[in-house]
Structure 1
Amino acid sequence: MQAENKIDELLPHQITEKADNIAFSKATKAFLSSFYLAITAGMFISLAFVFYVTVTTGSQDLAWGVKNFIGGIAFSLGLLLVVVVGGELFTSNTLTLIAKASQRITTMQMLKNWSVVYFGNFVGAIFLVLLMFLAGMYKADHGQWGLTALMVAQHKLHHTFTEAVALGILCNIMVCLAIWMAFGARTITDKMFAVLLPVAMFVASGFEHCIANMFMVPTGILIQHFATAEFWSSIGQDASTFKDLSIYNFIFHNLIPVTIGNIIGGGVIVGLMHWMIYLRPLQKSKKEL
């Protein structure tokens, strides 16, 4: 008897079914498991932003697109760690909206999962902010690392509310498409290639990721308020240049609108769209039988 041929990847409808099962599993996971995994995911994404700042520091002579592409490739490390090592990341957990649409979880279960993971991601990100500051990383390359971090953080506060929402939508479309393709992967190598380009694309294009911003903007705020006089002297700048780096501006000019956009981009546009295409007709036909 001939062995049955096996395809190397899952087909689109199979990926959607798998996504539904994973969404259910995430939404019903024990509180502490979700919280601890969310802390690690927040750290993974923060480490990726450290990598981004490091490789883009001193790259002023490169073309804008080339510099951003290099930074985007570096930043893809974060989502790859989440996918391979394991972690609960709020932006990808917006896909639990699929399990809600399938009526496998309640609205409260979904919102509880989002809240626990969001807070856990924040804890992980802030831990890395403090660790990197205590390590004096902002002083690297004669303060140029810190200057890059300040400029990136400040730029994120200068979008209008509508722009920030739209950039959040675009970002999480790409993040969740990367996760979606990783659902269909069978090896670590498959997952790496699935994640690499979507993440590089959203970072290079300047889209906004709420969890990454939990690291990047607080890093800028900490440098602006507590960096040494020697640091400001080394970069030839004054702290007042970055005075708009504040907790208020971060929350209301970036974090809130970007989070709204991330939910729409990942949960609605990627998650619900695929559910409507592949699972809704199947579930409807089963009910009619």
Structure 2
Amino acid sequence: MSYIQPKEVLNQMIQAGTIKSNLSVKDLLIRGFLAGAILSCATTLAFSAVTQTGLGLIGALVFPVGFVIIILLGLELVTGTFALAPLAVIARRATIGGMLENFFWVIVGHLVGSIVYAALYYVAVTNFGHIHDQPVIKYIIKLAETKTNGYSALGSDGMIAVFVKAVLCNWMVTLGAVMAFTSSSVTGKILAMWLPILIFFAQGFEHAVVNMFVIPAGIMYGAQVSLGDWWVWNQIPVLLGNFAGGVLFTGILLFITHGLSGTATVKHENSKTV
């Protein structure tokens, strides 16, 4: 059978966190760049589905294709690592410094990949600026303003709202990353990953890497959003909320309920190679 038991899943989570925390800067940048660009492409696919059908759920059904590609190719998605690397630190298989280095360089890679894709996408769908009524471009502009100015207009309540939406988002996203470990078959991995990602996207929760595309792309396309608004009212609180949701609700709770024997196994298996 291809199903993998939860205790072994925890072993794989810790092992993955260990490997990620020891990658070179070059690999973190390349894998982060590719993941940012691929997730951005999946985002415009989802937005195309929404603007063509008028149904947000259709966009949510197709969006997980980007996440699946990222996981199956072994790329780096910082939001998924938020649940994995801290467990490697807890299990003493990685250092805090290695974990933070992963976060930093992967985020840099995500930003570059997302912005490069945003520029290429604009050229592609507007024929280099000659088509001015492209629906997805208009959708991105409106969404970028909603994700920043919409929260700032609410003051402290807006800051709380964006943080909570980020927590809920990455609770699901990290479950998607973990569900990939529950099957040894490619088909099983795809189906298992698809479900939590659909849940977060369909409900409009806040994902840091998606926003690394949506908001700078919106600014590039003409949204009335400043760089300060992007980071203060979205990117920073969303990164913090994504981290909290991933490490607390997925990483720590699974570690507590499945953890001690799994940790011992990982330490034994990796003692000669890490």
Q: 1:57-105: CA deviations, max 9, x gaps?
A: 1434xxxxxx221111121111011011231011011121100111111
Q: C-alpha separation between the residues in 1 aligned to 2:52 and 2:28? A: 38
Partner of 2:137: 146
Secondary structure (helix, strand or coil) at the match of 1:105 reads coil
Residue pair 2:15, 2:266 contacting (<8 A) in 1 also: no
Partner of 1:117: 106
For structure 1, list consecutive stretches of 5 or more residues without a partner in the other structure.
1-6, 61-66, 225-241
Partner of 2:169: 171
Residue 280 of structure 1 deviates from its aligned partner by 3.3
Q: C-alpha separation between the residues in 2 aligned to 1:39 and 1:277? A: 34
Residue 266 of structure 1 deviates from its aligned partner by 0.9
Partner of 1:265: 245
Residue pair 2:14, 2:266 contacting (<8 A) in 1 also: no
Normalising by structure 1, we get a TM-score of: 0.83
Residue 142 of structure 1 deviates from its aligned partner by 3.5
Q: 1:88-146: CA deviations, max 9, x gaps?
A: 01101112110011111111111111111111111111110111122244876942222
Partner of 1:191: 189
Q: Which amino acid aligns with 2:141?
A: L
Q: Which runs of 4+ in 1 moved over 6 A?
A: 138-141, 284-287
Q: Which amino acid aligns with 2:257?
A: I
Q: Which amino acid aligns with 1:195?
A: M
Structure exhibiting the larger radius of gyration computed from Cα positions: 1
The within-5 A match list for 1:207-222 is 207-222=205-220
Normalising by structure 2, we get a TM-score of: 0.88
Residue 173 of structure 1 deviates from its aligned partner by 0.6
State yes or no: 1:70 paired with 2:58.
yes
Q: C-alpha separation between the residues in 2 aligned to 1:34 and 1:223? A: 29
For structure 2, list consecutive stretches of 5 or more residues without a partner in the other structure.
152-157, 268-274
- Label 1:9 to 1:141 Cα distance change in 2 as closer, same or farther (>3 A): farther
- Label 1:98 to 1:148 Cα distance change in 2 as closer, same or farther (>3 A): same
Secondary structure (helix, strand or coil) at the match of 1:132 reads helix
Residue 252 of structure 1 deviates from its aligned partner by 0.6
Partner of 2:11: 17
Q: Which amino acid aligns with 2:246?
A: G
In the alignment of these two chains, the number of paired residues is 257
**What percent identity do the matched residue pairs reach?**
26
Residue pair 1:41, 1:82 contacting (<8 A) in 2 also: yes
Residue 151 of structure 1 deviates from its aligned partner by 1.7
Q: C-alpha separation between the residues in 2 aligned to 1:218 and 1:286? A: 40
Secondary structure (helix, strand or coil) at the match of 2:63 reads helix
Residue pair 1:101, 1:272 contacting (<8 A) in 2 also: no
